[in-house]
Structure 1
Amino acid sequence: MSHDWAALREAELTEPGFQSFDRLLAGHVRDGKLAGVIGCVADDSGVRHLFMDGVKDRESGRPMTRDTIFRIYSMTKPVTGVAVMMLRDEGRFELDTPVSDFLPAFRDLKVLQPDGTTRPAKTPMTIRHLLTHTAGLTLPLSYDGPLADMYRNAGLEGMRSSGSLTDIADRLAALPVDFEPGTRWQYSMAQDLLGRIVEVAGGQRFDRFLEERIFRPLGMTDTGFHVPAPKKDRFCSVYPAPDDGTNAPIDRWDDSRFLAPPDFPSGGGGLVSTLDDYLVFARMLMDGGRGLLAAETVAEMTRNHLPGGCDMAAMGVEEFSGDRWEGFGFGLTMSVVADPVKASTGGPAGEYGWSGAAGTFFFNAPEHRATAVLLTQYMPSKAYPLRRPFREAVYEGLAR
């Protein structure tokens, strides 16, 4: 059943059964681990449970509110994935179209060898590889090693990179990849490169495409690549973790890089958003695309695309961002629960979602027609094992 989510912005509905959910989040605020937090569970009936606690920033003591604006970092990636799949649905390319069809500099792809030499790639890098983080690119924030050092020397630091999307794509093309495309999973700047492909294939700037084709149609009025001056007072600060409530912020709400437009719109981690905006986006996926995408396309995005249906652990991911990934496959920009026993999340197969570097997280559980969103601001997100108990508390509440 579709729902008019924009009409729910003033609703704050709660439901019995989510006591563990509340205790989990309240405990993190009480212990000083989080300055503030919002947690929400929704389904076809609307918002089933909403919890808010703490402050936007400790220095001013401004209370957390439903319209607080958060840095969602890598929760930008599913938005980029939707933009890419909209163009795929329009016939601009296929998933297995080589990246070099749009960015010719990738035609001469090289693979970095252990001895520091390179060899020609046997497989062209494709759009599917970028969407699934199997292209061989990397992200210095997440990995060390020779290729990560090359990225740093080239000014390629994810959303903190310098230059335009065109510049960034050219610098990525000039460097080798870490492995043969399609053979491993490695978190990377792939979605930043996809932003450039959206520009070339879609014929307009990436940020404008998102605004005109996704945010405006969905009514996501508080989502973008910076916080406009009139909305500054709704912004919050990021704190380093672990924290006991005494740490100074590492990115203040009133002195942040997000208060001005960035050098380039990062499809990998550049967006800010709110609970209601991201809820609208997540429910669009749950509702089968709601006119932005075909229902079949959403199903394609949210199934496992790893080779042979294997999980992320089989693709070399023993640990990432503080979690283990047995039982998780990977769809098009999002993780997917492929084996619920191995994943041990408390939920069924088919759950999909993703998280952000400052502790934000969302997932959709199609079997329950449910969406859960967690918004907070601490770094690094792996400092607290919060995502797994958050999932478990959501499923406990849904079962009651």
Structure 2
Amino acid sequence: MKHLKSITVGLAVLLMIAACKTNSDTAKSSTSVKEVSLGISSDSLIAATKRLHQHVDEGKLPGTFMRVIKDGTVIYDDKYGQIDVANGKPVQENSLYRIFSMTKPITAVAIMSLYDQGKLQLDDKVSKYIPEFAQTQVYKEVDGKHSTEPQKNEMTIRHLLTHTSGIPYGWERSYTDSIYATKQFMRQDWTIEDMAKDLATVPLKYQPGTTYNYGLGVDIAGYIVEVVSGQKLDDYFNSVIFDPLQMDNTAFYVPKEKKDRMVVIYTHDEAGKIKTPDQSMAFEVTEPPKLLLGGAGLFSTLGDYEKFCRMLLNKGELNGTRVLSEKAVQLIMTNQFGPEVETQPGMGHGLSGTVNLETGEYSWGGAAETKFWIDPSNNLIVIGYTQLMGGKTDYATEFKATIDNSLGN
């Protein structure tokens, strides 16, 4: 069983779906498995697919889209459920998702394209491009009172892309977080330039380079892309990344003619079942936004993001088009934490993504439960999409664990 050709696995999966579907009227399925020896047992893949679909059948997710690429071939492709439950719209290849923080690796690629052009270095001070940050202070409590001190080692681009800049999101309980929450830096009525310069007036939560703290640093890196390139972030993304990779459905907004392809974004009710979100997610998305967030702003299809992942796995090139140098990709996908930064055992952080120090796997996710993994040691990409805010249904990680176990990871 251990090395069955996956066409056999595919037939078993399709039979399992027909037998086990509990809600066939509302949870349409499309599953494809290629004839490639993956080294995964049919029983394991059937169980993983059944569990994946169970999240939808139990009303915990609206729909799921899972894809596995091995040795350059899509060997597993599963679409299940809906993008709009109320209207019965099924998950499709061209469904458009908010990828939120999966925007961050794209900003890292934009920065590293400027690195390849010799226009910046990772250890350049942020103040070289945004002078206001030269005067940014660091929070310090003195005798129980709020105080500040100068930056001991001034913030760099590397700090921004590894979340060690001292810039938070404003989600935690601290003096600096409370200021961020009050200022609402991610509001839609100003530009990234306005945001960056105002943010520079707020004390940093930590000394740069000392502590991992997830925050708005990658958005500041996005503004540096604008400063150095002389282009707006969306234009630079298009010219340097999206157009070369033919990522034709990735942008900071959804054109009106594509709006019917948007996936409705859900939350959970008290019983753990999906419900449509509150008004905080209801802002207009059919026009280019004023605020271009390089840390959270993009919409995309799974197929478009697959192209992006393939480019990184292939060391900066896809289908004869080179987007980045091999050195730039190596920097993105290897640990960039300084020696002072504490992290989980075996885990580091590349540029805008987590790095497994043992396997070299590079990964990240988005707030609405979109996730990807790039595993160079096994020439493997796994991508999982749904749209759920604030949920605890770890559908993609569960499925990925089956793949890992089959490969001995």
TM-score range, shorter chain: 0.7 to 0.9
1:393 Cα deviation (Å)?
Answer: 1.9
* Aligned counterpart, 2:364: 354
| Farther off after superposition, 22-31 or 181-190 | 22-31
Corresponding residue number in structure 2 for 1:332: 351
Match of residue 201 from structure 2 = 174
What is the alpha-carbon root mean square deviation over aligned residues? 2.3
Instruction: Give yes or no for contact 2:267–2:390 (8 Å, CA) kept in 1.
Output: yes
CA gap 1:169/1:255 in 2 versus in 1, 3 angstroms: closer
Cα pair 1:31 1:244 within 8 Å, conserved: no
After superposition, the Cα gap between the structure-2 partners of 1:273 and 1:136, relative to the gap in structure 1 and judged at 3 Å, is same
Amino acid at match of 1:130: L
Contact 1:33–1:243 under 8 Å retained in 2: no
Q: For the structure 1 residues 230 and 243, does the alpha-carbon distance in structure 2 shift closer, same or farther, using more than 3 Å as the test?
A: farther
What does residue 6 of structure 1 align with? none
What residue in structure 1 maps to residue 329 of structure 2? 298
Identity of aligned residues (%): 34
- TM-score by structure 1 length? 0.86
Following the alignment from structure 1 to structure 2, what is the Cα–Cα distance between the partners of residues 232 and 384? Answer: 26
Post-superposition shift, 1:242? 5.8
Alpha carbons of 1:43 and 1:152: their partners in 2 closer, same or farther (altered >3 Å)?
A: same
Looking at CA atoms only, which structure, 1 or 2, has the larger radius of gyration? 2
Residue 390 of structure 1: CA displacement? 2.7
Is 2:149 aligned against 1:149?
Answer: no
Partner letter of residue 111 of structure 2? V
2:7 maps to what in 1? none
1:369 and 2:379 correspond: yes
Contact 1:41 1:394 in 2 (8 A): no
Indicate the residue corresponding to 2:394 in structure 1: 385
Structure number with the higher strand fraction is 2
Which residue in 1 is equivalent to 2:153?
A: 123
Q: Is the 8 A contact 2:152 2:207 kept in 1?
A: yes
CA contact (8 A) 2:137 2:148 kept: yes
Query: Do the aligned residues in 2 keep the contact of 1:154 with 1:171 (CA within 8 Å)?
Result: no
C-alpha displacement of 1:152: 2.2
**TM-score normalised by length of structure 2:** 0.84
Contact residue 188 and residue 289 of structure 2 kept, 8 A: no
What amino acid sits opposite 2:347 in the alignment?
A: F
Secondary structure in structure 2 of the residue aligned to 1:87: helix
Structure 1 residue 395, shift from structure 2 partner: 2.1
Pair 243,399 (structure 1): closer, same or farther in 2 beyond 3 Å: farther
Q: May I ask how many residue pairs the two structures share in their alignment?
A: 365
Q: 1:150 to 1:91 in 2, by over 3 A?
A: same
Distance in 1, matches of 2:82 and 2:34, equals 21
Q: How much has 1:233 moved relative to structure 2? A: 1.1
Give 1:356's aligned amino acid: G
Distance 1:120 1:45 in 2: 49
Q: Which runs of 5+ in 1 are unaligned?
A: 1-10, 316-324, 340-348
The equivalences for 1:160-309 within 5 A come to 160=187, 162-241=189-268, 247-250=274-277, 256-290=283-317, 291-308=322-339
Equivalent AA in structure 2 for residue 121 of structure 1 = Q
CA offsets per residue over residues 114-165 of structure 1, 9 Å max, x none?
332111111110000001000000002x4232111111222313xx454101
One-letter amino acid matched to 2:157:
I
Partners of 1:358 and 1:379 within 8 A in 2: yes
For 1:363 and 1:205, the matched residues in 2 are separated by 29
Distance, in Å, in 2 between the alignment partners of 1:45 and 1:177 is 43
Give the distance between the partners of 2:47 and 2:173, measured in 1 at CA: 38
Q: Counterparts of 2:96 and 2:270 in 1: how far apart (Å)?
A: 21
